[in-house]
A and B are shown apart, each in its own frame.
Chain A
Amino acid sequence: MTINAVEMKNISKSFGSVKANDSIDFSVKKGEIHCLLGENGAGKSTLVKILFGLYNKDQGQIKINNKPVKINNPAGAIKEKMGMIHQHFMLVDRFSIIENIIAGQEPTRTWGTSIDKKKAAVKVKEISQNFGFDLDPEALIENLSVGEQQRVEIMKALYREAEILILDEPTAVLTPQETEELFEIMESLKEDNKTIIFITHKLNETMEIADRITILRDGKKIGTVNKNDTTPQKLANMMVGREVLLDLEKSSKNPGKEIFSIKNLSYKNPVSGLELNEINISFKKGEIVGLAGVEGNGQLELEEIIAGLKAPDSGEILFNSQKITKVSTRERRNMGLAHIPSDRNKYGLVGNFSLAKNILLGSEWNPEFKNKFMIDFDYLNNYTDQILKEYDVRFSGKNSRASELSGGNQQKLIIGRELSRGAEFVLAAQPTRGVDIGAIEFIHRQLLKIREEDKAVFLISAELDELMSLSDRILVIYEGNIVARGKVEDFDQEELGLLMAGHSREER
C-alpha cells in the first residue's frame, strides 16, 4: 500500500462570501513532488495554509501518513514534520545562516545556559552536504542573494526534521539559474524520500519538476494528473477553464522612424547605491524593445526616470526629437507617454477609488472629462464602461473599488486606461507580473496590437518567455549596465538567463 504523506478530504474555507476552498480533496504520495497549479485566487495558498495551520478550515479532514491529525497552528504542523517556505522570507538579516537556522530551537549545553553552536553546526553542515546546498553556515543573511536565502529557509525546515516541504511560489523571486539550482535541490530531497508540495502558476516549471499535478480553479479542484499524461496546453486549459492560446502570432514588420530615445543617461540611486551607467536606447515606431534583467538591476530606476518621477544625474531623453529630460510627468503624459507601472498597487491604482475614478487618473484636468468647472461624471461613467468592456475587466458591482478587483483585472484596468489615451510611446514595466494565464494572453495581444498601430513599446520584464515572444529587439541589463543588445533572433532563452545573471557572452 502506498502511503499518502498528506491527505486532505473535503476541505472548505470561506472568507466572507468568497469560497476560497470548496470541498477540495487533495492527496500527496510520500516521496513525490506534487505541483499545486492554479491561477491567482484559485485557492492554492489557502489550501496549504490550512495544511500548515495558518488558517482554520471550515470543514474537512486532514491525514498525515494515513493518520488523522488536528493542526491548529504552525507549531502543530512542525510537530507533524512539515515545513513551509514562504514567498517572503522570515530571516534575521544581521544573523548568520546558522543562527537563523537554529533560532527557536537552539541546542543548549548541559545546564541550558548557553547555546551549543558547535552541535548545531555539525547538523547544519550535514544537511548542507547531503542535499547540495553549498552554503557557508557562518555567512550573514544580509550578504546572501535571494536564491541563497531561500535555501536557508529550506535548510531551516530540514533542521527541524521536516519530511513534508511546502514551497509557496518559490520561483517567483528567482532568476532562471537560481530556479534550476532549486530544482536540483528538490530532486535530491526527493531521492531522500522527502515529500514536496510545490505551488506555482507557471506551466513550464510544472512540466519540468512535478511527478503529479493538482489543478485548482476558483476554489475547486479540477483534477489531479500525472505529469507524463499531460501537456502544457492541457494544463493551461484546465487552469483557465477554456482554450488558451499559448503561442502568439507576431507579424513581421519593419520599424519606422525613431520616436523616443535615451542618450548617455546616468543615475545613482542615493539609497541603494545602484548606478545606471551611460544608458543608450533608441525606440522606433512599430517596435517592441524588451529589457531583460533580474529585478533590482536598475530597471525600476530607468522606469521612473522615463516617467519623469526621478531626474537623471546626466544624459538626455528625447521624445519626438524634443528634449524632455526636465519636463514634468504630466507634460510627458500629455505628449503621448503611456506608463504601465511595475508596481501597480503603489503607482498604478488607488485602491479606495471607484473604477471610474481610477480610469480618470491622470486625465482629471483633461477638458474631455469636464463640463465647465465640474468633472463630467456621466461622460466618465460611459467612458469607463467602454474601457472595462473593451479590456475585459471583470468586476462585481458598478461601484466596486479598485482594491476589490483581482490582480489580473486590476492590471487590465491600468492597461486599458493607459492604452486608450492614444499614446505614442508605451512604457510597459512588468506588465504581466502576478497576472493569470488568461489575462497574460490578453495583455500580450494588446501590446502586439499597439505595435501593429505603429507605436513604440518599451517592455521591461523578468519573464523570458514574454520577452522572447513579444520583443523585436532585446537589451539585457545587469547592475545598471546594458550588457548585451541585439535582435530577438540572436538570443536563446538559456543565453539570456546567463546574461541576466551577470555572465558575459564570452564566458560561455
Chain B
Amino acid sequence: MAFNKNLKEILYSVAAIISALLLGALLIKLSGHSALKAYYYLFYGAFGSTYNIAQTFLKTIPLIFTGLAVAVGFQSGLFNIGAEGQLYLGAFAAALAAIIFSNLPGFILIPLALAAGALAGSLWAAVPGILRAKTGAHEVITTIMFNYIGILLTTFLLKNYFKEEGPVDQTKKIAEQARLPELVANTRLTWALFIAIFVIIIIYYLLNHTAYGYDLQLVGENINAAEYSGVDSDKVIINTMLLSGGIAGLAGSTMVLGVLHRFITNFSPGYGFTGIAVAVLGRNKPLGVLFAAFLFGILESGGMSMQLFAKIPADLMTIVQGLVILFVAAPSIFKILKNKSGIFRGDNS
C-alpha cells in the first residue's frame, strides 16, 4: 500500500510534468514558434552530447543542495526561505578557507573548505532558528531578511578586505589543489555531484531511520504530540535550521570549489529560491528532490540551447518551469480549497 502510494505520487508528478510541457508547447506555438523545434533543442541541449549532459548535471548540483535544504526544513514544519543567503555565506566561507589555508594539501583542504561552507550556512540559519524557537518570530520573515543581510554582508566583506585587483568584485582564485577534480574534462562537472548524492543518501537515512529524524518529522507533523511525548521542540527546531542551513552552505562551497574557483559577488541566479520549487516538486523527500533537481537541470541547460538555436526566449522556459510547479502543487491547493468549502458548508447550516 505504501508502495502504491509512492507509485501514485510518482505517476502524478510525471503526469504534471507532461501536462506542463504540453501547455508550454501551446504557449510556444501561440508566441509564433515551432513547439516541436523548441522541444527538440530542449532535449538536444540537455542530452545532445557528453558536454551537454555534463552541463545538465552541473546545473543540477546546486539545486540538489538547496532543494534538500528547503525540504529538510519543511519536514520539520519550517519554511526556510533563507537558503540563498546561507548559500552565499557558505560560498564565502569556503573561498576564504581555501585561500587562507592554501598551504595545506588537497585531501585536507577540500574537506576543510567544504566544512567551512557548511558551518557558515548553519550558523547563518541558526539565528532565525533560535528566534523562532525562543521568541516565535516566524522564520519566513527572518530568513527573507537574512537573505539580504547575508548577501550584502559577503559583498561588503569582499569589497573591503578580500577583493582582487580589477573591475570585478571577486576574490583571487583558490589554489589548484583546493579545486574539486573534474569528472569530464573542461566541463567543470566535478566530484561535487557525488558529494550531492552522498548528502541525499545521508539525509534519507537520517530522516527515515534515526530517532533524530523521527523527532524532526514529529515536530513538523504535530508539535503538540512532540512535546507531549517528551521531545524538546525548541531544540529540534534549532537543530533543523542548523542542518538545513548547512546543506544550503554546501551548495555555495561546492560552487566555489567546483565551478567558480573563487567567490564572486551575486554569483547565484537564485539557486536558493529555485530550491523551494525543487523541494515542492520533490514532495520534500530526499529522493524526490534528487529527481526534481535533475528536471530543473534539464530545463535550465535545455532552455539555453532552445534560446540559442530555436530563438525562443528563455522566459518561455521559465514559464514551463512555473507550470510544472503549479501542476505538482495543484493537489495541495485543491485540498485547501476543499477544506475551506467544507467550513463554508458548516456555516450555512
Contacts and interface: CB of A to CB of B under 8 A. Distances in A.
A2 interface: no
A350 B215 CA distance: 12
Contacts of A209: none
Contacts of B347: 90
B215 to A, nearest CB: 6
Interface string A174-212: 000000000000000000000000000000000000000
Contacts of A353: 217-218, 221
Given A74-B349, A364-B215, A399-B1, A375 B210 contact: yes
Given A74-B348, A329-B230, A375 B225 contact: no
Interface string B79-94: 0000000000000000
B209 interface: yes
A321 to B, nearest CB: 22
Interface residues of B, number: 26
Interface stretch (A17-25, A114-122, A355-363): A355-363
A146 B345 CA distance: 23
Interface in B222-267: 222, 224-225, 227-232
A330 interface: yes
Identify the 6 closest CB pairs spanning chains A and B, nearest first. Answer: A330-B230, A362-B229, A347-B228, A364-B211, A329-B230, A399-B2
Interface string A80-97: 000010101010000000
A217 interface: no
Which of B215, B218, B346 has most chain A Cβ within 10 Å?
A: B218
A170 B295 CA distance: 55
Interface size class of A (residues with CB under 8 A): 35 or more
A351 interface: yes
A438 interface: no
Which of A86, A350, A351 has most chain B Cβ within 10 Å?
A: A350
Contact of A307 (B1, B210, B228): B228
A399 B5 CA distance: 10
A349 interface: yes
B198 interface: no
13 contacts: A52-B349, A74-B348, A90-B349, A309-B228, A329-B230, A346-B224, A346-B225, A361-B218, A362-B230, A374-B209, A397-B1, A399-B2, A399-B5
Which of A74, A332, A365 has most chain B Cβ within 10 Å?
A: A365
A508 interface: no
Contact of A398 (B1, B221, B228, B231): B1
B225 A328 contact: no
A446 interface: no
Given A73-B348, A347-B224, A349-B222, 4 more contacts: A309-B227, A330-B231, A346-B222, A373-B210
B205 interface: yes
Contact of B225 (A84, A349, A364, A377): A349
Nearest to B230: A330
A339 B205 contact: no
A429 B99 CA distance: 62
Interface string B335-349: 000000000011111
Contacts of A373: 210
A353 B227 CA distance: 16
A244 interface: no
B309 interface: no
A285 interface: no
B228 A348 contact: yes
A352 B220 CA distance: 11
Contacts, number: 83
A224 B174 CA distance: 86
B214 interface: yes
Given A348-B228, A374-B205, A365 B211 contact: yes
A339 B228 contact: yes
Contacts of A88: 346
A486 to B, nearest CB: 32
Interface in B289-342: none
Contact of B228 (A54, A329, A377): A329
Nearest to A49: B349
A54 B211 contact: no
A453 B69 CA distance: 49
Which of A329, A334, A364, A377 has most chain B Cβ within 10 Å?
A: A364
Contacts of B214: 357, 360, 364, 375
Given A346-B224, A361-B225, A398-B1, A333 B348 contact: no
A293 interface: no
Contacts of B348: 73-75
B218 A350 contact: yes
Nearest to A88: B346
A370 interface: yes
A341 interface: yes
Which of B210, B214, B215, B347 has most chain A Cβ within 10 Å?
A: B214
Nearest to A329: B230
A81 to B, nearest CB: 15
B211 A328 contact: no
A350 B225 contact: yes
B215 A347 contact: no
A333 B230 contact: yes
B211 A370 contact: yes
Which of A52, A84, A362 has most chain B Cβ within 10 Å?
A: A362
Interface in A195-246: none
B227 A329 contact: yes
Contacts of A351: 221-222
A347 B5 CA distance: 27
A341 B232 contact: no
A397 B4 CA distance: 13
A33 B129 CA distance: 58
Contacts of B346: 86, 88, 90
B211 A350 contact: no
Nearest to A54: B349
Which of B2, B209, B230 has most chain A Cβ within 10 Å?
A: B230
A350 B222 contact: yes
B1 to A, nearest CB: 4
Nearest to B213: A375
A421 B232 CA distance: 20
Contacts of A329: 227-230
Contacts of B228: 307, 309, 329, 339, 341, 347-348, 362
